[in-house]
Amino acid sequence: MKKQTFKKITLLLGIMMFSALFSNSIFAQSKVEATTSKAQQNLIVKGKVTDDKGALPGVNVVLKGSKVGAVTDENGEFTFPQSLSSGDVLVFSYLGYNKQNITIDAQTTYINLLMSDNVIEIMGAPSTDKPYKSKRSH
């Protein structure tokens, strides 16, 4: 009886070791495939930003949720300094224009963006009844 128990334990340990080795190789394969698919999604994104009058130099292009970004050149063109993946969002902002978010998909390599004016309303008017006085002491 002890011999049969020993054989069962040995067989059980062998099966456990085999399954552990086999599952590690499957895990390693799936990890390699995941890394490969992510590498395929690394996209270099370029583009041009314009308004109704032409190219816009100095537009900020920032990856949403990070501090990584670029600025358009004198021709309104930019190259994002970091490779992007599908689902990343680029935020375009420029003083006097509406902020725009562009979501990157698997085919995005070039963005041609037309910025629209942001109407700024001034609340109230300055008072001209009194002469201006500085609050600084001389």
- The Cα 55–Cα 101 span in angstroms is 19
Asked if 24 and 52 sit in the same domain, the reply is no
Is residue 135 situated within a structural domain?
no
Asked if 60 and 105 sit in the same domain, the reply is yes
Cα–Cα nearest to 47, from 27, 65, 69, 26: 69
pLDDT, tens only, 75-118: 999 999 999 999 999 999 999 899 999 999 988 899 999 999 88
pLDDT, tens only, 16-67: 554 555 444 444 444 444 443 444 468 899 999 999 999 999 999 999 999 9
Is residue 128 situated within a structural domain?
no
pLDDT for the residue numbered 14? 54
Asked if 59 and 101 sit in the same domain, the reply is yes
- The Cα 113–Cα 80 span in angstroms is 14
Domain encompassing residue 7? 1-40
Is residue 122 situated within a structural domain?
no
Is residue 100 situated within a structural domain?
yes
Asked if 59 and 97 sit in the same domain, the reply is yes
Asked if 98 and 62 sit in the same domain, the reply is yes
Number of domains in the chain: 2
The CATH number for 85's domain is 2.60.40.1120
pLDDT for the residue numbered 41? 64
Specify whether the CB–CB gap between 104 and 84 falls below 8 A: yes
Is residue 125 situated within a structural domain?
no
Number of Cβ within 10 Å of residue 75's Cβ equals 13
126: confidence class by pLDDT, cuts 50, 70, 90: low
- The Cα 131–Cα 134 span in angstroms is 10
